[in-house]
């Protein structure tokens, strides 16, 4: 989604855009450190907000732009994301992982 956003908004590729490269790196780091791991819900439905406020706003801008375009440019990924959101809604929110 960041690649779609960067290509349209900054006229390039994520690898070439310092701003979007930083944003992608930050998002990957937060996903890797997520306390829910494999049972992770979509970030906007998660009860633990691990993104810093400014980065959260930037990711929201990317999602607002790229979300509607997913079904056109990446329909399989769009459907998988929608199925994941429905799966987590139906099963309730995941329990918080215990620190070991």
The answer to whether residue 97 is domain-embedded is no
Give the pLDDT of residue 14.
Answer: 67
Query: Tens digit of pLDDT for each residue in 22-81?
Result: 999 999 998 888 888 777 777 767 778 788 999 999 999 998 998 888 888 888 988 887
Domain residues for the domain of 9 are 2-90
Give the pLDDT of residue 83.
Answer: 81
The encoded tokens of residue 33 equal 């450190």
Query: Tens digit of pLDDT for each residue in 89-99?
Result: 654 444 444 44
Using CA atoms, how far apart are residues 4 and 42, in angstroms rounded to an integer? 19
The answer to whether residue 8 is domain-embedded is yes
CB 70, CB 77: distance < 8 Å:
yes
Q: How many domains does the chain have?
A: 1
pTM recorded for the entire structure? 0.69
């Amino acid at each position: 989604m960041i690649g779609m956003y960067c290509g349209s908004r900054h006229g390039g590729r994520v690898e070439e855009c310092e701003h979007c490269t930083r944003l992608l790196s930050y998002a990957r780091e937060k996903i890797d450190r997520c306390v829910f791991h494999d049972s992770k819900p979509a970030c906007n439905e998660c009860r633990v907000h691990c993104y810093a406020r400014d980065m959260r706003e930037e990711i929201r801008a990317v999602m607002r732009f790229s979300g509607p375009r997913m079904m056109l440019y990446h329909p399989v990924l769009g459907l998988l994301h929608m199925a994941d959101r429905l799966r987590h809604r139906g099963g309730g929110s995941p329990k918080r992982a215990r620190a070991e």
